[in-house]
Chain A
């Protein structure tokens, strides 16, 4: 789950990271009032779950109350890469003498948390990684010991070789960030930039955190951090129904058991010149309720002109799967053609059951995909 900057900053603050104050406003009046409370100058920062906010004009420095009003007016309602700004963070502006990047993520290769830091702060770190990878320093963290003092200070000194005071502040920030990462079950945590003011005080002035969806059971409070406005309605419904779903732009609705097979099915639709409308993993069971939920979610998209079931039965018997699909589709009013591909145990019995209905049976994945594209027109 991705969370907003202001939410990530709350988490960072609770772990003792030096984060400037700030509050969220949903209207121009509120933004002006918050600026008045905090004292000028302030930054007005759009809160949307995407990168490139600054470039899109979603982050502004405001020296006067007039600036705050004007910028809040411009930013609220702004469309940044398809995300509409509904909230702005109003936070004290600080003088920046130098900027650093500090980030942590799960490194699949070492199977550990990886700390990355760079003196090239305040810019897109992906770009730095691509153009000048030697400017990013890395430290894998042994989960048995955490980020040790000498490791953190070593990283701090690589960033600030001539200033031990700053190196120590960076090291402390890294250790606090690691604690925040582990205790909040993050999959990504970034401070970009961590800055020093001209008097040498460090501040984390931007924050990004992704939380591990699999660990939400340990953090019931984090459910409140979910921004429902940022979620596509169909994706929200799918999440509530515990279905794995991603909305795409095409017209062939896909219901597949298994994530890998679901991706391969989308790819095959594209291969044959069609466009998949979604990714949907219906999982192992074919109980009619789950199928109904999945169909309703897919059919809520008016672009969908045909539906494709691709089910590899495996241990589940295909005649049972067919019965589930027939019961589900029979209970609904569906106006688009449905192609069903069933393979596995008892597949012939399954297809025989389908043949007695309006559902279009197919023997292979390729046949099913081609039929679905043709029917979608």
Chain B
């Protein structure tokens, strides 16, 4: 088992005829993910790589192939519309990889998808990879391994770095999840932590945070109250100057809040070890995890 995906995950890729969408659709299929259809308006009737039928709309793809999940690789100006389209067509899990989506577009999207009972991951995220089950997004499959650790992160390549170290230490993963670096995102740390906490196969998990907002603090409070599984954290951006956006739209210390120091303090106060370096994450986890 993993969080948010299983053997019945049937994927439609929005933007499959684009460069990134096509490349990553192939990678997902190579990993065994059931990519049942693609969507690009105006390209309906084409067949992607002689395997995957392409439709003009998500509704057609869902109707013809029973898709329940969408992975979105469309440009920023069309991303919010694509998310709404997927939710309206009945997709219950929507992963939006697109970077650079206007924040107010996401504000408008949220009630729309909530009314339709869809879960959104992202935008501006690497998606999700459940080793041995499915890959929804762009995480590299070469670094993962099946096992008992969950991982949730606001970052992309920093996530890969940590997954790589987990795998090298022989600790496989149930699910590696990148929730994205934007201020307004669908699935939050809190959602992921609740899911990991309930997932019987996840025995311990890692949370990779960064500067900006207070999602890490909120997660810390929840973990302290409700989570018995071992959790270790890391916070990126201790050296980030205030008022500057560090690449991710959401990674900014503003008005003196959202600093790495504050987050570290809140996590430690909740009994969650915070690694000083990425390479300390695995040893810190091994310290508190008596298997």
Given known pairs A214-B103, A259-B181, the reply for A108 and B238 (CB within 8 Å) is no
Return chain A residues, CB-CB under 8 Å to B276.
271
Return chain A residues, CB-CB under 8 Å to B140.
313-315, 344-345
A348 to B284, CA, bound (A): 28
The answer to whether B239 touches A262, judged by C-beta atoms less than 8 angstroms apart, is no
Partner of B153, one of A143, A260, A365: A260
In this assembly, does B286 line the interface, its C-beta being within 8 Å of a C-beta of chain A? Answer: no
For the complex of A and B, the 5 pairs showing the least CB-CB separation, nearest first, are A260-B155, A259-B247, A258-B157, A260-B158, A215-B102
In this assembly, does A355 line the interface, its C-beta being within 8 Å of a C-beta of chain B? Answer: no
A217 to B114, CA, bound (A): 27
What are 28 A-to-B residue pairs whose CB atoms are below 8 Å?
A108-B214, A108-B250, A111-B106, A126-B255, A182-B104, A185-B103, A185-B104, A218-B102, A248-B241, A258-B155, A258-B247, A259-B155, A259-B181, A262-B246, A263-B158, A266-B240, A267-B236, A267-B237, A267-B238, A270-B238, A270-B239, A271-B276, A276-B239, A281-B247, A312-B161, A313-B140, A315-B140, A343-B161
The interface of chain B, by Cβ under 8 A from chain A, is 27, 76-77, 100-108, 110-111, 138-140, 142-143, 153-161, 164, 181, 183-184, 208, 210-211, 213-215, 218, 234, 236-241, 244-251, 255-256, 260, 276-279
The answer to whether A264 touches B161, judged by C-beta atoms less than 8 angstroms apart, is yes
Closest to A50 in B: B243
Return chain B residues, CB-CB under 8 Å to A217.
76-77
Return chain A residues, CB-CB under 8 Å to B161.
261, 264, 312, 343, 365
Return chain B residues, CB-CB under 8 Å to A143.
104, 107-108, 110-111
Most chain-B CB neighbours within 10 Å: which of A182, A185, A259?
A259
A213 to B139, CA, bound (A): 26
Return chain A residues, CB-CB under 8 Å to B256.
126
Most chain-B CB neighbours within 10 Å: which of A262, A264, A270, A345?
A264
Closest to A2 in B: B243
The answer to whether A263 touches B76, judged by C-beta atoms less than 8 angstroms apart, is no
- Min Cβ gap B281→A in Å is 11
Within 239-288 of A, Cβ neighbours of B (below 8 Å) are at 244, 246, 248, 256-264, 266-271, 276, 279, 281
A217 to B101, CA, bound (A): 10
- Min Cβ gap B197→A in Å is 20
Return chain B residues, CB-CB under 8 Å to A281.
247
Partner of A271, one of B106, B237, B251, B277: B277
In this assembly, does A113 line the interface, its C-beta being within 8 Å of a C-beta of chain B? Answer: yes
A20 to B108, CA, bound (A): 33
The answer to whether A109 touches B76, judged by C-beta atoms less than 8 angstroms apart, is no
Return chain B residues, CB-CB under 8 Å to A256.
157
In this assembly, does A169 line the interface, its C-beta being within 8 Å of a C-beta of chain B? Answer: no
- Min Cβ gap B135→A in Å is 11
The answer to whether B277 touches A366, judged by C-beta atoms less than 8 angstroms apart, is yes
Given known pairs A246-B244, A263-B236, the reply for A106 and B184 (CB within 8 Å) is yes
The interface of chain A, by Cβ under 8 A from chain B, is 106, 108-109, 111-113, 126, 129, 142-144, 182, 185, 187, 212-215, 217-218, 244, 246, 248, 256-264, 266-271, 276, 279, 281, 312-315, 343-345, 364-366
- Min Cβ gap A161→B in Å is 28
A259 to B158, CA, bound (A): 8
A182 to B107, CA, bound (A): 10
The answer to whether B157 touches A261, judged by C-beta atoms less than 8 angstroms apart, is yes
Given known pairs A260-B236, A312-B157, the reply for A215 and B110 (CB within 8 Å) is no
Most chain-B CB neighbours within 10 Å: which of A126, A185, A279?
A279
A214 to B79, CA, bound (A): 12
Return chain A residues, CB-CB under 8 Å to B105.
215
Most chain-A CB neighbours within 10 Å: which of B139, B143, B215?
B143
The answer to whether A108 touches B213, judged by C-beta atoms less than 8 angstroms apart, is yes
The answer to whether B157 touches A257, judged by C-beta atoms less than 8 angstroms apart, is yes
Return chain B residues, CB-CB under 8 Å to A264.
158, 161, 234, 236, 278
Closest to A369 in B: B277
A279 to B251, CA, bound (A): 12
- Min Cβ gap B251→A in Å is 6
- Min Cβ gap A367→B in Å is 10
Given known pairs A143-B108, A343-B164, the reply for A263 and B240 (CB within 8 Å) is yes
A217 to B215, CA, bound (A): 29
A-B contacts besides A260-B157, A271-B276, 11 pairs, CB < 8 Å: A244-B245, A259-B181, A260-B236, A262-B247, A267-B237, A268-B277, A270-B239, A312-B161, A312-B164, A314-B138, A315-B140
Closest to A243 in B: B247
The answer to whether A108 touches B107, judged by C-beta atoms less than 8 angstroms apart, is no
Return chain A residues, CB-CB under 8 Å to B249.
212-214
Closest to A188 in B: B254
Given known pairs A213-B249, A260-B155, A261-B155, the reply for A246 and B111 (CB within 8 Å) is no
The answer to whether B158 touches A261, judged by C-beta atoms less than 8 angstroms apart, is yes
A143 to B140, CA, bound (A): 37
Partner of A214, one of B101, B213, B236: B101
Return chain A residues, CB-CB under 8 Å to B251.
259-260, 263
The answer to whether B155 touches A315, judged by C-beta atoms less than 8 angstroms apart, is no
A264 to B234, CA, bound (A): 9
Closest to A145 in B: B111
A260 to B103, CA, bound (A): 19
A259 to B108, CA, bound (A): 26
- Min Cβ gap B211→A in Å is 7
A246 to B246, CA, bound (A): 7
A212 to B249, CA, bound (A): 9
The answer to whether A260 touches B76, judged by C-beta atoms less than 8 angstroms apart, is no
A277 to B276, CA, bound (A): 20
Return chain A residues, CB-CB under 8 Å to B278.
264, 268, 365
Closest to B276 in A: A271
Most chain-B CB neighbours within 10 Å: which of A214, A244, A246?
A214
